[in-house]
């Protein structure tokens, strides 16, 4: 047993811990936020208010990168055959509940809000773009990329979470939210002997996780180029997309650090979720704060040193006039405060400090998404009028936060809240020595 692995509990203990549903008041509050925020959004859309569409796009990008990165982090646990996270990783798998909603939101934007969000939309075919961008941003090619890439990524990530949850549903008594009863029944269908299910699922998830890593990296490069960088159609950067999706990865971990603490308290699972896991998650938050800062500064440094007008104008706009304070706040909240604040072990483990830096990173990344989108649309004229940051952005953020929270809570109440199978199965550590799922004999090392 590794130093960071919790002792194997009994199956009865784990099932007793996960039996407690999320309080109804929390779900009702999230639902109220969802309804109120999207009522404001619909009102703005009906009136043709560009700010409503732009706030919709910013919040779609913010919450979708977080949700998609969270599922990718879950897949990384399989790639590394991690054992430290078995009692807590379902908390991150729940982020997948937002992805179908995110797919619908993207379709709404590209089919109905395109004229408000993409300043270049009228340019393809008019000669205003260089030939390469004229082809790349042509409407048919743009629609095909958006639907195809997002659709494949969402389908793959939902499938991966299905295979993971299926193991736990298969060894748990029927229970959970009624809305998911049919899904749980489908998961139990053809569920076989425990040892065979372990190895067949582990084998399947092995190739799925690697494929997901490739699709996630390439897919989010395309989505970041199309739905963020392209808004300034003169600008390009090879590091831009990495900064976008790794920002989502960072904040997914920050939210994870808070949810693990809440579920530990709510489920009274202090023997299943330990301070060592708090520390491990805190170290990941610190590491990816440093990585996000590295990506951001490296992109800025190369552009500053190259001093090419087609590149420097992007940062010049964001570091002058009304945009300056928001850009500086982004760097302080997302990098400076969490990086220096999380240097110590105590700050990573002590809940008030960890929650403060998680909140700082959360707000900072939202501002980063804002500065990616809004200056490209409004340009220098905001220097005189002030940045468009007010009731539309706040109301629609509340709506998306409500949607994210409500969908997440529904998922967590619909399925086992921990990996019951991998925590309690007598065969749980056989996955370190892969077996043939048909014969159950260990595979030769070269296979």
Note the pLDDT tens digit of each residue in 157-210.
999 999 999 999 999 999 899 999 999 999 999 998 998 899 899 989 999 999
pLDDT of residue 2: 47
Stated pTM of the model? 0.94
In the structure, what pLDDT confidence band is assigned to residue 385 with cuts at 50, 70 and 90?
A: confident
Average pLDDT, integer, range 300-324: 91
Note the pLDDT tens digit of each residue in 126-145.
888 889 999 999 999 999 99
Whether pLDDT at 445 is above 90: no
In the structure, what pLDDT confidence band is assigned to residue 383 with cuts at 50, 70 and 90?
A: low
pLDDT of residue 3: 46
pLDDT of residue 434: 66
**Segment among 33-47, 108-122, 376-390 with least mean pLDDT:** 376-390
CA distance 151 to 439: 36
CA distance 433 to 198: 12
CA distance 182 to 171: 16
Whether pLDDT at 124 is above 50: yes
pLDDT of residue 444: 66
In the structure, what pLDDT confidence band is assigned to residue 446 with cuts at 50, 70 and 90?
A: very low
In the structure, what pLDDT confidence band is assigned to residue 1 with cuts at 50, 70 and 90?
A: very low
pLDDT of residue 379: 85
Average pLDDT, integer, range 402-417: 97
Whether pLDDT at 442 is above 90: no
Whether pLDDT at 440 is above 70: no
Separation of first and last alpha carbons in the chain: 25
Average pLDDT, integer, range 288-317: 93
Note the pLDDT tens digit of each residue in 228-257.
999 999 998 989 999 999 999 999 999 999
pLDDT of residue 44: 95
CA distance 418 to 165: 9
Whether pLDDT at 387 is above 90: no
CA distance 418 to 405: 18
Whether pLDDT at 36 is above 60: yes
Note the pLDDT tens digit of each residue in 420-429.
999 999 888 8
Q: Residue written as tokens 């992007």?
A: 314
CB 417 within 8 A of CB 175: no
In the structure, what pLDDT confidence band is assigned to residue 384 with cuts at 50, 70 and 90?
A: low
Please give the mean pLDDT across all residues of the chain: 92
């Amino acid at each position: 047993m590794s130093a960071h692995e919790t002792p194997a509990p009994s199956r009865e203990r784990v099932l007793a811990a996960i039996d407690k549903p999320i309080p109804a008041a929390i779900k009702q509050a999230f639902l109220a936020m969802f309804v109120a925020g999207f009522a404001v959004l619909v009102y703005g859309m009906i009136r043709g208010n560009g700010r409503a569409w732009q706030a919709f796009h910013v919040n779609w990008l913010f919450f979708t990168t977080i949700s998609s990165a969270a599922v990718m982090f879950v897949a990384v646990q399989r790639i590394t055959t991690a054992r430290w996270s078995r009692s807590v990783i379902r908390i991150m798998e729940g982020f997948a509940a937002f992805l179908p909603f995110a797919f619908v939101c993207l379709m709404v934007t590209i089919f109905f809000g395109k004229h408000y969000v993409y300043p270049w939309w009228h340019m393809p075919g008019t000669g205003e773009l260089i030939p390469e961008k004229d082809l790349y941003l042509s409407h048919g090619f743009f629609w095909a990329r958006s639907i195809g890439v997002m659709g494949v990524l969402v389908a793959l990530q939902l499938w991966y979470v299905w295979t993971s949850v299926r193991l736990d549903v298969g060894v748990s008594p029927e229970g959970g939210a009624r809305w998911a009863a049919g899904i749980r029944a489908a998961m139990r269908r053809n569920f076989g002997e425990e040892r065979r299910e372990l190895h067949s699922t582990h084998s399947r998830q092995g190739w799925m996780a690697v494929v997901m890593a490739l699709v996630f990296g390439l897919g989010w490069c395309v989505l970041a180029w199309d739905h963020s960088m392209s808004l300034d159609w003169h600008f390009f950067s090879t590091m831009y997309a990495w900064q976008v999706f790794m920002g989502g990865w960072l904040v997914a971990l920050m939210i994870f650090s808070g949810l693990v603490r809440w579920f530990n308290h709510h489920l009274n699972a202090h023997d299943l979720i330990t301070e060592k896991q708090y520390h491990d998650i805190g170290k990941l938050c610190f590491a990816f704060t440093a990585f996000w800062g590295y990506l951001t500064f490296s992109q800025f440094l190369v552009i500053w040193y190259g001093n090419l007008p087609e590149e420097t104008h992007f940062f010049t706009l964001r570091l002058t006039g009304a945009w300056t304070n928001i850009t500086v706040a982004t760097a302080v909240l997302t990098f400076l405060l969490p990086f220096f604040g999380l240097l110590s072990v105590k700050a990573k483990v002590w809940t008030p400090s960890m929650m403060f830096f998680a909140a700082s990173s959360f707000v900072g990344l939202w501002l980063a998404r804002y500065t990616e989108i809004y200056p490209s649309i409004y340009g220098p004229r905001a220097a005189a009028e002030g940045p468009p940051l007010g009731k539309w952005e706040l109301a629609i953020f509340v709506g998306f936060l409500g949607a994210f929270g409500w969908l997440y809570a529904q998922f967590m109440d619909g399925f086992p809240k921990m990996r019951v199978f991998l925590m309690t199965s007598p065969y749980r550590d056989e996955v370190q020595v892969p077996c043939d799922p048909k014969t159950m004999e260990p595979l030769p090392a070269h296979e």
